[in-house]
């Protein structure tokens, strides 16, 4: 084991794009909890939104991003995203990312909710994230100054004299070691597993956000959890994502009576912002099942355009061309996260964050569809640039003393799974799509009770359980504090938006609100 200048936690689009930059300046250790293939990035279907057509195109992307964010988007962050996006995507193309093209070689673009035009690039139909991850990883593997360490859980940050100087890592054999570096980037993604119904993979347990918060970093806008409107709803089936691109290609939403209910809800109907569609489906579902209906769509070869989705549905004897497909919203993306500026700096010296784990304010209260891959790409690179500028290459050593002997496992795995399932159920019921003070107080009390039986050991699952608990507490506290409805945060008891747009900031247990810039 050598020494590292930079530690990157997470191997999705934000982490890997940062690694590529950092590797030019020093030795980089990149750790992932499972294999590198298992990140939220790999599961992204619809595509990557980017305005490659010049000034007017970029301005439209900016106004769509700001519009979807319901008054809470930080202008500077959104400008960084749309202005730097095209350059970053050109780099991706240069590294061999195979976006879908027409027979004439033109990049194909699709449309999703709240976009004013078709600007979303996609790859292998509905496998955009997987293709981008493949291309990034192929590039990273060529870099001699990078060590990729899979199946490694980052447990906590090491803070000395108010500065992050490293992290404790738990390997596959449950050996605990401490790595010291010049700077740490958290790019470990979101926390969809805090809800019983999620499109996110099992690794999305909010680890990076929870450990940054424990270390003293501020988190922001944690109440804004985006629920994707259309996850598959089938007995015993996973909540598989049915990409918004299906609606972009013409799919309708119909209720149990076969009626299109979105026409009465929003001028953009099925392509309204996600929060609007998700709430409409939830309300409609009180009277019976809700379906995606693609049966009338002409001119799309479904198995070619959506091979992953078609293959998944075939396992349930469903065919997009023939069948109505039952759907229901599921937790999908956290707009909030570790508070950062547009250069990826957190409030804690030595600590940087990018991608879903971070909150630059770029998504405001509701993320525009397919802006998340672009976010990871743009802000991963930005964070790497500030790590290099502020820290520079420093030679540090890797302390590998094992701490395993001092640790014990207190809970059997079955008890942990039950404890986690209880947490996820209560969050879905009382802090999900439609909230009110009564439910949120119930969630708060239940979490307080669950704290007494919180797993205290040091297996990966126990670490995850504690992180989920921390994230759940933050969501509930911020949701209670925000007495308005805005974007993805809807309060039945405060159904209107406040005149003043404010970010919620949570730091060492204290919640405050700051006016959005
Ligand atoms: C989707 O394909 O609908 C997901 C894309 C996203 O979350 O932006």
For ligand 1, the distance from its centroid to the CA atom of residue 137, given in whole angstroms, is: 21
Residue 185 forms part of a structural domain: no
Same domain, 310 and 354: no
Same domain, 357 and 445: no
Same domain, 307 and 240: yes
Q: In CATH, what number is assigned to the domain containing residue 311?
A: 3.90.700.10
Kindly list the distances between the CA atom of residue 110 and the CA atoms of 8, 306, 377, in Å, as whole numbers in the listed order: 32, 12, 20
Q: For position 431, what pLDDT does the model report?
A: 98
Q: For position 391, what pLDDT does the model report?
A: 82
- Partner residues linked to 9 by β-bridges: 31, 186
Same domain, 9 and 44: yes
For ligand 1, the distance from its centroid to the CA atom of residue 45, given in whole angstroms, is: 6
Task: Specify whether the CB–CB gap between 439 and 210 falls below 8 A.
Answer: no
State whether residue 335 is helix, strand or coil: coil
Q: For position 135, what pLDDT does the model report?
A: 97
3-state helix, strand, coil in the chain (%, to 5): 35, 20, 45
Q: For position 393, what pLDDT does the model report?
A: 52
Residue 503 forms part of a structural domain: yes
Residue 502 forms part of a structural domain: yes
Same domain, 368 and 504: no
User: What whole-number distance in Å separates Cα of residue 285 and Cα of residue 55?
Assistant: 42
Q: Which of 119, 130, 247, 274 is catalytic?
A: 274
Same domain, 71 and 129: yes
Same domain, 342 and 294: no
Per residue in 234-282, pLDDT (tens digit) is 999 999 999 999 999 999 999 999 999 999 999 999 999 999 999 999 9
Token representation of residue 175: 């050996």
Counting ligand 1 atoms within 8 A of each CB, the residue from 44, 61, 242 with the most, and so the one to mutate, is: 44
Q: For position 407, what pLDDT does the model report?
A: 45
Whether 244 lines ligand 1, by a CB cut-off of 6 Å, is: yes
Q: Which parts of the chain have pLDDT scores under 50?
A: 1-2, 396-410
Q: In CATH, what number is assigned to the domain containing residue 455?
A: 1.20.58.100
Same domain, 11 and 33: yes
Same domain, 263 and 144: no
Whether 356 lines ligand 1, by a CB cut-off of 6 Å, is: no
User: What whole-number distance in Å separates Cα of residue 369 and Cα of residue 275?
Assistant: 11
Residue 177 forms part of a structural domain: no
Residue 319 forms part of a structural domain: yes
Same domain, 38 and 111: yes
Split into its structural domains, the chain has a count of 3
Domain that holds residue 138: 4-152+335-399
Q: What is the mean pLDDT of the chain?
A: 94
Q: For position 409, what pLDDT does the model report?
A: 47
Counting ligand 1 atoms within 8 A of each CB, the residue from 13, 39, 43, 47 with the most, and so the one to mutate, is: 47
Residue 164 forms part of a structural domain: no
The 10 Å Cβ neighbour count of residue 451 is: 10
Cβ contacts of 6 within 8 Å, gap of 6 or more: 22, 26, 27, 28, 29, 181, 182, 183, 184, 185, 387, 391
Burial string for 26-48 (b: 16+ CB within 10 Å, else e) reads bbbbbbbbbebebbbbbbbbbbb
Residue 81 forms part of a structural domain: yes
Of 373, 399, 425, which one is at a domain's C-terminal end?
A: 399
User: What whole-number distance in Å separates Cα of residue 369 and Cα of residue 389?
Assistant: 32
Residue 457 forms part of a structural domain: yes
Of 282, 306, 329, which one is at a domain's C-terminal end?
A: 329
Of 275, 295, 329, which one is at a domain's C-terminal end?
A: 329
328 is catalytic: no
For ligand 1, the distance from its centroid to the CA atom of residue 257, given in whole angstroms, is: 27
Nearest atom of ligand 1 to the alpha carbon of 242: 3
Whether 40 lines ligand 1, by a CB cut-off of 6 Å, is: no
Q: In CATH, what number is assigned to the domain containing residue 97?
A: 3.50.50.60
For ligand 1, the distance from its centroid to the CA atom of residue 183, given in whole angstroms, is: 31
């Amino acid at each position: 084991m050598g020494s590292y200048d930079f530690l990157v936690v997470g191997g999705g689009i934000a982490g890997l794009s940062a690694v590529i930059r950092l590797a030019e300046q020093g030795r980089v250790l990149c750790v992932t909890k499972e294999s590198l293939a298992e990140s939220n990035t790999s599961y992204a279907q619809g595509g990557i939104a980017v305005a490659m057509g010049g000034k007017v195109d970029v301005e439209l992307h900016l106004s769509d991003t700001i519009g979807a964010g319901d008054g809470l988007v930080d202008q500077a962050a959104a400008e960084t995203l749309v202005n730097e996006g095209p350059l970053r995507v050109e780099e991706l193309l240069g590294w061999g990312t195979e976006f879908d093209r027409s027979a004439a070689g033109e990049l194909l673009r699709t449309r999703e909710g709240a976009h004013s035009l078709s600007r979303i690039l996609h790859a292998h139909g509905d496998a955009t994230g997987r293709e981008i991850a493949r291309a990034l990883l192929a590039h990273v593997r060529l870099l001699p100054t990078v060590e990729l360490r899979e199946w490694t859980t980052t447990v906590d940050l090491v803070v000395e004299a108010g500065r992050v100087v490293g992290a404790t890592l738990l390997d596959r054999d449950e050996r605990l070691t401490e790595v010291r570096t010049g700077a740490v980037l958290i790019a470990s993604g979101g926390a969809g597993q805090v809800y019983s119904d999620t499109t996110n993979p099992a690794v999305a347990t909010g680890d990076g956000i929870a450990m940054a918060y424990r270390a003293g970093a501020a988190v922001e806008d944690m109440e804004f959890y985006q629920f994707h409107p259309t996850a598959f709803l089938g007995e015993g089936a996973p909540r598989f994502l049915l990409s918004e691109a299906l609606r972009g290609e013409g799919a309708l939403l119909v209720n149990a009576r076969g009626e299109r209910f979105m026409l009465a809800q929003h001028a953009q109907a099925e392509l309204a912002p996600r929060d609007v569609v998700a709430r409409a489906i939830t309300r409609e579902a009180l009277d019976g099942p809700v379906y995606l209906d693609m049966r009338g769509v002409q001119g799309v070869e479904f198995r070619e355009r959506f091979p992953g989705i078609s293959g998944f549905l075939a396992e349930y004897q469903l065919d997009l061309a023939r069948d109505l497909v039952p759907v229901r919203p599921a937790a999908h993306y956290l707009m909030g996260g570790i508070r950062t500026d547009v250069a990826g700096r957190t409030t804690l010296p030595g600590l940087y964050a990018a991608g879903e784990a971070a909150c630059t304010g770029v998504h405001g209260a509701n993320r525009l569809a397919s802006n998340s891959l672009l976010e990871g790409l743009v802000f991963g690179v930005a964070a790497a640039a500030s790590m290099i500028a502020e820290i520079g290459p420093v030679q540090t050593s890797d302390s590998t003393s094992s701490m395993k002997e001092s640790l014990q496992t207190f809970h059997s795995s079955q008890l942990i799974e039950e404890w986690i399932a209880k947490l996820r159920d209560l969050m879905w019921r009382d802090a999900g799509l439609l909230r009110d003070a009564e439910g949120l107080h119930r969630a708060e009390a239940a979490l307080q009770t669950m704290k007494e039986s919180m797993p205290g050991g040091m297996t990966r699952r126990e670490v995850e359980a504690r992180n989920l608990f921390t994230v759940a507490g933050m969501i509930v506290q911020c949701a209670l504090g925000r007495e308005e409805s805005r974007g993805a945060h809807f309060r039945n008891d405060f159904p209107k938006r406040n005149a003043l747009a404010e970010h919620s900031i949570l730091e060492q247990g204290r919640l405050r609100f700051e006016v959005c810039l």
